[in-house]
Amino acid sequence: MNQLTGFKRARFVVLLGALAALIPLTIDMYLPALPDITASYETSASVVQLSLTACLLGLGVGQLVAGALSDVYGRRRPLIIALIVYIAASAACIFAPNIFILIAGRFIQGFAASAGLVISRAIVRDVSSGAELTKLFALLMLVNNLVPLLAPSIGSGVLLFTSWPGIFLTLSVLGTILLLITAFRLGETLPVDDRVPSNLGTTFSNFVSLLKDRQFSGYALSQGFMIGGIFAYVAGTPFIYQNIYGVSPQVFSILFGLNGLGLLLGTFMVGRFASVISEKIFLESGLVMAFIAGLALLVVVIFEGPLWGIVLPILFFVTSIGFVATSSFSLAMETQSHVAGSASALLGLLPFVLGAVTAPMVGIAGEDTAVPMGLTIFLMSALALATYVFMAKRGGPAEKPA
């Protein structure tokens, strides 16, 4: 990778970014079609929402499987197989005769899409290190942060021309394009000598050794807790902004988009200045910013402050994710070249697990109070800072890259 320049390097990064974008596209593109799917199958909204739950479950499980297999068989073969499965699952969703087949198809779709994210991250670790590793991770994070803002609009655009199966047709076409490019343009990046033995015992041992690695676990938990806070924000603000503060759906969308821009800004800064500012400085700055923002938010919601008193701390909290997610992922992966796929899988799984815990917490006291959301975000930021200080920071002081 360090020998790639100009167009070849850009093409390589675009391909990895597109592979990583499969997850947000798979999750978010069909959201505008949920009412149409409900009517099409003459079922309830809660049953249709199981298709989203199934997709998220597939994403979580799939990351573990894809990461482990890529350490055993290399990056290219598992990725090609996963894209073939993704295309087939998308086709199953198009022609699903009932809602339960659609739900099953969504699980398989999520399972297969997870390989795009996990293996693209492992490939980055295969071909780069140091500041270059952080820059490439930052580019992937920019894609992952930007696509969720655009995916629902893309889905809505598709619905202007066709019905909801057209969304899954679009995803199937995208999967086919990525399959062809991967098959003919992406070479293997993990040498045979660097692969791990092919047995379940070794795979399980890799995961255990990663969890026992105090520094790796510290970075992973710091990232996971922060993104757990993001799930709390996403689950809580639609009710808080609209039910408590009476803002319109349009104003809510603007505020949501503003936070998305903050996230992009934070991620861009890490990628732009990774050559002169160390990842640990970015990580520490982001964690401190998140803790202060979480504390300010908690104070505001306890005393039922004005809307701007909630909007500003959340903006700073979400922006800090751009610092934390990119730098912590880079630092966690830096020393895991021998099991990069498994490491990438664990780092991808933790946010889903913690998000599944935090999202329901924000509604524990009903829809008329913001305190549970504020408390959850504060606790997540405090735990993220604590796990970094007491676990990951043992790696030594931050130094500027050479």
Instruction: Delineate the domains of the chain, giving CATH numbers in brackets.
Output: 6-132+140-195 (1.20.1250.20), 212-393 (1.20.1250.20)
More confident residue, 339 or 314: 314
pLDDT score, position 86: 97
**Tokens found for residue 136:** 């490439």
Averaged pLDDT, 123-143: 75
List of residues 6+ apart from 285 with CB closer than 8 A:
323
Statement: residue 134 has pLDDT above 60: yes
More confident residue, 123 or 139: 123
Averaged pLDDT, 88-100: 95
pLDDT score, position 398: 41
Statement: residue 402 has pLDDT above 60: no
Residue 270's pLDDT band (cuts 50, 70, 90): confident
Measure the CA–CA gap between 393 and 281, rounded to whole angstroms.
Answer: 11
Statement: residue 139 has pLDDT above 80: no
Closest CA to 342 of 230, 189, 216, 231: 216
pLDDT score, position 179: 95
End-to-end CA, the chain: 18
**Torsion angle of alpha carbons 321, 324, 326, 330, nearest 10°?**
-160
More confident residue, 172 or 279: 172
pLDDT score, position 400: 39
Q: Other C-beta atoms within 10 Å of 381: how many? A: 29
pTM listed for this prediction: 0.68
What phi and psi, each to the nearest 5 degrees, are found at residue 44? -95, 160
The per-residue pLDDT of the chain, averaged, comes to 82
pLDDT score, position 44: 78
Sign of the CA dihedral 372, 347, 289, 144?
negative
pLDDT score, position 145: 66
Q: Could you read off the pLDDT of 107-116 as tens digits, one per residue?
A: 999 999 999 8
∠ Cα 174 56 92 (to 5°): 50
Q: Could you read off the pLDDT of 370-379 as tens digits, one per residue?
A: 899 999 999 9
Statement: residue 185 has pLDDT above 80: yes
Type and span of the H or E element at 102: helix 99-127
Lowest mean pLDDT segment, chosen from 72-76, 151-155, 217-221, 274-278: 151-155
Residue 399's pLDDT band (cuts 50, 70, 90): very low
**Tokens found for residue 158:** 């598709």
